[in-house]
């Protein structure tokens, strides 16, 4: 199984979380492409407008199977070893999913103000199809 993580390669928070995931997974399950890779996004039918809604996770075996925003973050957590225990518990608590979704939206909409913007786009060593090109 392979999953593609589309992240904001100019966002300090996003890049830090991608680097953490890279260290945990080492490219076994996840490959990455920044939202700034317009050619790859075009291939997948993803627009800049789509990217405004937050990170995107795509099932590499079924490209029509996608998660976005906080749902993508939850699915990534669920796919990690023993992560499903924590994600299932989170989802089971009344009101927490709703609050988590609102929290994600605030971080997404204010990420550059809160965490800063990188001067250059981060490109993962575990890029999609090994085709790092930015």
Q: How many domains does the chain have?
A: 1
Q: What pLDDT is recorded for position 1?
A: 84
Asked if the model's pLDDT at residue 112 lies above 90, the reply is: yes
Q: Which residues sit opposite 11 in a β-bridge?
A: 117
Q: Write down the pTM of the prediction.
A: 0.91
Rg of the chain, C-alpha, whole Å: 14
Tens of pLDDT, residue by residue over 5-55, are 999 999 999 999 999 999 999 999 999 999 999 999 999 999 999 999 999
C-alpha span between 100 and 36 (Å, rounded): 26
pLDDT of residue 126: 93
* pLDDT for residue 130: 67
Domain span holding position 86: 3-130
- pLDDT at residue 132 in the model: 66
**Rounded to the nearest 5°, which phi and psi values hold at 110?**
-125, 20
Specify whether the CB–CB gap between 3 and 55 falls below 8 A: no
Residue predicted with more confidence, 130 or 65: 65
**What DSSP assignment string belongs to 70-124?**
HHHHHHHHHHSTTHHHHHHHHHHSTTHHHHHHHHHHHHHHHHHHHH-B-SS----
Q: pLDDT tens digits, residue range 114-131?
A: 999 999 999 999 998 766
């Amino acid at each position: 199984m392979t999953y593609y993580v589309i992240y904001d390669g100019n966002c300090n928070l996003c890049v830090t979380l991608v680097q953490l995931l890279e260290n945990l997974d080492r490219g076994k399950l996840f490959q990455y492409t920044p939202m700034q890779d317009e050619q790859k996004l075009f291939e997948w039918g993803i627009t800049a407008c789509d990217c405004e809604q937050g990170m995107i996770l795509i099932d590499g075996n079924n490209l029509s199977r996608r998660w976005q925003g906080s749902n993508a973050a939850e699915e990534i957590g669920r796919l990690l070893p023993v992560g499903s225990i924590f994600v299932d518990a989170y989802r089971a608590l009344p009101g927490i999913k709703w609050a988590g979704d609102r929290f994600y939206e605030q971080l997404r909409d204010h990420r550059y103000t809160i965490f800063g913007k990188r001067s250059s786009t981060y490109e993962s060593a575990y890029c999609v199809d090994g085709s790092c090109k930015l």
